[in-house]
Structure 1
Amino acid sequence: MDTFETLQFFRGLSDEYSIDKTSIIVPRKDRRPRNSSPHFHEVADKWFLDKFGIPYRSQGVFVIARVLSASAYATSPDHVVRVIPLSTYRFCWSKKISDLLFGAQKLANAPAEKIKDFLESACYQEDDLSAAHSSGNEVKSRPRFVGQFSWIFNKDPALRVKRPMPQLV
């Protein structure tokens, strides 16, 4: 079975993160939207909470299999890092939505029902990580329990090539 440890997922970081070494980062519990409206963020977060029991928008870590896509969110190409969970996690993704930001911008001030209908039509699912990786679409991931830390940001260039991650102990 494919996992975040055997597949490579990336994230673009801002320059507030150190990229000269491997870092263990605690995901925020109160993520605020940087590129989407607070209205869309709140409606979508509640939709994810109602659908999956997890507010993926405010408590998730967004990752993607394509380095080029991750670089769109990075301060520089050097700020694209591989993200690997260190504890149990859940994830969701959509076969239809490459990046929710596009929908978030289009529906920034739409009525809540229109946003919910859009999210429902996206057919988000919490399985088949291998298909999520192959699709190149955004994956929203979160530790199984908030407060239980889970992600390592690894800048090692050797890990950026397509080869399995060494087993973490």
Structure 2
Amino acid sequence: MVLPAARTRDEAYLYLDLTPCPTCGSAETEWRHALAQVDGELVTAYDGTCQGCEAEREYLFELPAREHAGGVPNFGGPEPSALLDPGQWLDVADQLMSAVDPDKAGEMAVFAAAAVAEVLKFLPPGVDTVPAERFWSAAGRQVYDRQPGRFRRDRLQVVLDSYSGVS
């Protein structure tokens, strides 16, 4: 099965990190990356061996319509992710900032800010809250259901500004 496009390699690796092995539940896998063909179409392939149970894992992603150049991290362009929903992105930011080693706070804040910026991409123009239908994963929906108010534009902007100011 071919998954939606990974806009960048950083987004693909984050998706893989958040997708545990279906056999043992471990997320630890050394991934290899290459182009492949499926039904005559080029796709991006990631494969590796699960470090927990040694199962072979493979994920295929559509190629993005265009490459997205950017800094680090580079999760994608102006369009919202088709791989991770807004709840998953906010959860990534929360996890990064909740277990921060003080010596790495600035580095983690850069990644957390980028994750929050991804959440903002799910806001339709003129709408102040990420619509409930934009949450498609169980994990993302759980984050939304716990505190739907966290997905308001003004609150997301405050969090983004706060993380962007950490050095």
Shared fold per TM-score greater than 0.5: no
The structure with more helix, counted as a fraction of residues: 2
The higher radius of gyration belongs to 2
Higher relative CO (Cα under 8 Å, sequence separation at least 6) belongs to 1
Normalised TM-score (structure 1): 0.26
TM-score (normalised: structure 2): 0.26
